[in-house]
Structure 1
Amino acid sequence: MYKKYIKNILDFIFSLIFLIILSPLILIVGIISKIYEPKATILFKQKRAGVDNKAFTCYKFRSMKITAPKNASTYEIENPDEFITPWGKFLRKTSIDEIPQLFNILKGDMSFIGPRPVILKEKELLDLRYENGAASVKPGITGLSQISGRDNLPPAIKAKTDGIYANDISFVNDLKILLKTIPKVLKAEGVSEGKKEF
């Protein structure tokens, strides 16, 4: 009941509420972003994997210069500092860059809680998620793998953790993840930039 109906209803209601409450912040971030990158769009749009690994357009505040490599995860870039603006660093460290994903939740592409939405070329992780049963749920702004290490987890561990969540979705578990996310965001835990070898 919760997984099939209530979770979607709560996602819609709270995404709408947060968009209204955060509208002044969204406006301020947009203005400052334009100051740093006048020629760039305020929102960064990228195809990400949704339910059953089907593509959807994910929205974020732009944190990188328009000269940054296209369709690449930050962990693939050798020298991310060359492409991330000073303002973008702040947005990423505080996770403010992810606020536009509230529009994705409102549209039904995402949930507040779920596996992190990744680009389509991260085939290893997507295949492992499918094997672990995690591809059947909507990606989320936060989730079990995000509070368990985020950028610092290898694909196999991420997929296994996402699978654990997908196979035991409940209001209590979602609430626990949400509450654990708050201190993680405040401390910027698990946020890591640049190329990684696992």
Structure 2
Amino acid sequence: MQNFLLRLFDVMFSAFGLIVGFPVLAFITLIGFFDTGSPVFRQERVGRDQKPFVLVKFRTMKPDTASVASHLASASAITPLGHFLRRTKLDELPQLWNVLKGEMSLVGPRPCLFNQQELIEERARRGVFDVRPGITGLAQVNGIDMSTPELLAETDARMIKDLTVGKYFAYIIQTVTGKGAGDRVVKR
């Protein structure tokens, strides 16, 4: 019953967010054309049961940036608009489409790239791929990112095991109010 409720909340909130947030999405897309010429970023990620899906975000880095985890990317690749989008977490808004389609949840382990083999192995060992990846979760609100694969996988597994409707809402509220740093980019 809890899984049904969480999916119902995902569908309701993502649909509501896409409808109500449409003017913001359209405005950021327009500004993004001036920033990079390509405002929407699509990238294949590891989904539930390790199946690939295409994650959609607002572009925060230059279009020619290598396809690597954020902690491996250079801070110099972040665009002026990208700094603002990352700080406010608005770059995540298009993922509401992934949630509505059933590829993601609002709350779950952040989807990794297929080239993050150590993280994939750690998560597979702990059953993390048994659930949909999410926009936010326990690791994100505690500032744990993909630069520490074992700790991230342990945290994801603990969140999945202990997830309740109350914690689902708590992670969302903590994210919206600014708790957690998101994926860190190393200054080089």
Give TM-score scaled by structure 2 length. Answer: 0.92
8 Å Cα contact 1:115/1:139 also seen in 2:
yes
2:65 aligned with 1:73, yes or no?
no
Deviation of 1:151 (Å): 2.7
Shift of 1:176: 2.1
1:154 partnered with 2:136: no
**Alpha-carbon distance change, 169 to 14 in structure 1, aligned in 2, over 3 angstroms:** same
One-letter amino acid of the counterpart of residue 185, structure 2? E
Alignment-mate amino acid for residue 142 of structure 2 = S
Structure 1 unmatched ranges of 5 or more = none
Say if 2:171 is the partner of 1:194.
no
Indicate which of 115, 122, 130 corresponds to 2:124: 130
Query: In the alignment, which of 172, 181, 184 is matched to residue 175 of structure 2?
Result: 181
Would the aligned equivalents of 2:139 and 2:145 in 1 still touch at CA under 8 Å?
A: no
Residue number in structure 2 paired with 1:121: 115
Partner of 1:27: 26
Could you report, residue by residue, the CA deviation over 1:168-194 in whole angstroms, capped at 9, with x for unpaired residues? Answer: 222122122222223335xx6355212
1:139 partner amino acid: P
| Aligned-partner residue type, residue 37 of structure 1 | T
- 8 Å contact from structure 2 (residues 92, 135) kept in 1: yes
CA drift at 1:127: 1.2
Does the 8 Å contact 1:136/1:166 carry over to 2? Answer: no
- Whether the 8 Å contact between 1:143 and 1:177 is mirrored in structure 2 is yes
Q: Distance in 2 between matches of 1:195 and 1:126?
A: 26
Gaps of 5+ in 2: none
Amino acid at match of 1:175: F
In structure 2, how many angstroms separate the alpha carbons of the residues matched to 1:87 and 1:176? Answer: 28
Output the aligned Cα RMSD: 1.9
**SS of equivalent residue, structure 1 residue 184:** coil
Structure 2: how far apart are the matches of 1:8 and 1:189? 26
Amino acid at match of 1:31: L
> Judging changes above 3 Å, is the alpha-carbon distance between structure 1 residues 101 and 190 closer, same or farther for their aligned structure 2 residues?
closer
Residue aligned with 2:106, SS: strand
Q: Distance in 1 between matches of 2:17 and 2:10?
A: 10
Which residue number in structure 2 is paired with residue 7 of structure 1? Answer: 6
CA contact (8 A) 1:149 1:189 kept: yes
- Partner Cα separation in structure 2 for residue 17 and residue 174 of structure 1: 17
TM-score, normalised to structure 1's length? 0.88
Counterpart Cα distance in 1 of 2:78 and 2:109? 24
Provide the secondary structure at the position in 2 that maps to 1:45. Answer: strand
Identity, % of aligned positions: 35
> How far apart, in 1, do the equivalents of 2:30 and 2:78 lie?
17
1:118, CA displacement in angstroms?
A: 1.2
